[in-house]
Structure 1
């Protein structure tokens, strides 16, 4: 698949283990997402019980660069239950094949893939960026 600027691509990210590692914001990843990520439609899919980015900004200094937070607290579903991903697709108006889901847990990535999304198992920033660039080419 060739990346097309006109095609709507969506990047769905986990919070714990991706945006926040340990008790620290993943600044290298956040800087990339804010300044040079080729996918502009970014949302968060999390098992945390949060509904707004205020806590991420106050506690971790993470700017609100994302469009949506789809959380277990508001959907009633936790990853890897496919229903949380289905809710994300519904809210974003996205097709699974236009989504790339990033998580640090294999089961969660596999659940997203089972619906037709692409998946990246987050290990570190360098590996993530290489995999993302491969997926959108």
Structure 2
């Protein structure tokens, strides 16, 4: 069972919160940024963006050696402000969106799992956030 400790990651994106929210929540965008490294991909994403709505993101190594579904249920949805969801293993994640001067900061707080080091988990989640930032800033 995961502890109630939390890990935080964050980034700032030079886009409005409207655009950041769209890129974060729409499946056609999620599949383009949701990976921690270039040797992984997200071939499919389903996102029922409402309280008690479910999401499923398929994660796969590009070489086909490994894959898994990352899924959960939304507990709170405040458009362009906040998402709270429970991952299928019972851990909680909170994502806060805040805008200032046409720049949006995303802060993610999540409960770590017990299998991998906290440092590795923080690096992995931060890497996905960095990939999101690059994707979002490259969009028109």
TM over 0.5: no
Greater Rg, structure 1 or structure 2?
A: 2
Q: Which has the higher helix share?
A: 1
Report 1 or 2 for greater relative contact order, CA contacts < 8 Å, sequence distance ≥ 6.
Answer: 2
Q: Which has the higher strand share?
A: 2
